[in-house]
Amino acid sequence: MSARFAIRPGDCHPMGATLDNNGANFAVYSSTATKVELCLFDNSGHTEIARIPLFSDEQGIWHLYIKGLMENQLYGYRIYGEYAPEKGLRHNPNKLLVDPYAKALFGEFSHSDSHRNDGDYFERDSACDMPKCKVINFSTYRAKRPSIPWHKTVIYECHVKGISEQFPLNNAAHRGRYAALCDSNFINHIKTLGVTAIELLPVHAFLDEAFVHSRKLTNFWGYNSLNFFTPHTHYGQQNAHLEFKQMVSTLHAHHIEVIIDVVFNHTAEGNENGPLLSLRGFDNGAYYRLHSDDPSLYINDTGCGNTLNLDHPKTVQLVLDSLRYWYNIMGVDGFRFDLAPILGRNKTGFNSLHTFFQTIAQDPSLKNAKFIAEPWDIGPGGYQLGQFIAPWREWNDQYRDTVRRFWRGDAHMLPHFAHYFHGSNRHFEVKGRASTSSINFITAHDGFTLCDLVSFNHKYNFANQEQNNDGHNENYSYNWGHEGLDAPSDVLKLRTKMQKNMLLTLCLSSGVPMLTGGVECGNSQDGNNNAYCQDNPIGWVNWPQIQKPHEHELYIFITQLLAIRAQYSLYRQNHFIHDNDPRYTVNWCDQHGQIMTDHAWHNEATKALGYHIIDREDNCELLLLFNASEQEVKFELPVLRPTTSQNASWQIKLTTCDSPVNNLAEPKHFIRLSALSAWVLSN
Catalytic positions, please?
338, 374
153 with 514: CB under 8 angstroms?
Answer: no
What stretch of H or E contains 498? helix 489-507
Q: Which whole-number Å values give the CA distances from 570 to 580, 581, 649, in the listed order?
A: 15, 12, 21
Closest CA to 12 of 52, 50, 55: 55
525 with 531: CB under 8 angstroms?
Answer: yes
Please tell me the number of Cα atoms within 13 Å of 305 on its side-chain side.
Answer: 17
Cis peptide before 513 (omega within 30 of 0): no
DSSP code for 438: E
26 with 98: CB under 8 angstroms?
Answer: no
Tell me the pairing of strands 608-615 and 620-627: antiparallel
Closest CA to 74 of 23, 100, 38, 110: 38
**Residue 393 β-bridge partners:** 372
**Residue 37 β-bridge partners:** 53, 78
Q: Give the span between the Cα atoms of 528 and 511, in whole angstroms.
A: 29
Tell me the pairing of strands 23-29 and 61-67: antiparallel
Angle 366-15-131 from CA coordinates, rounded to 5°: 105
232 with 206: CB under 8 angstroms?
Answer: yes
| Beta carbons within 8 Å of 439's beta carbon, 6+ residues apart | 155, 372, 393, 394, 395, 396, 511, 512, 514
Angle 291-297-300 from CA coordinates, rounded to 5°: 75
Q: Give the span between the Cα atoms of 27 and 48, in whole angstroms.
A: 20
| Beta carbons within 8 Å of 295's beta carbon, 6+ residues apart | 85, 86, 87, 88, 285
Tell me the pairing of strands 6-8 and 61-67: antiparallel
Q: Which whole-number Å values give the CA distances from 585 to 104, 613, 614, 617, 623, in the listed order?
A: 54, 6, 5, 11, 12
**Residue 30 β-bridge partners:** none
| Beta carbons within 8 Å of 237's beta carbon, 6+ residues apart | 173, 174, 177, 179, 243
Three-class HEC string of 583-615:
CEEEEEECCCCCECCHHHHCCCCCCEEEEEEEE
Long-range contacts of 122-125 (CB under 8 A, 24+ apart): 122/83, 122/92, 122/94, 123/94, 124/94, 125/94, 125/95, 125/96
Q: Give the span between the Cα atoms of 48 and 74, in whole angstroms.
A: 9
370 with 152: CB under 8 angstroms?
Answer: no
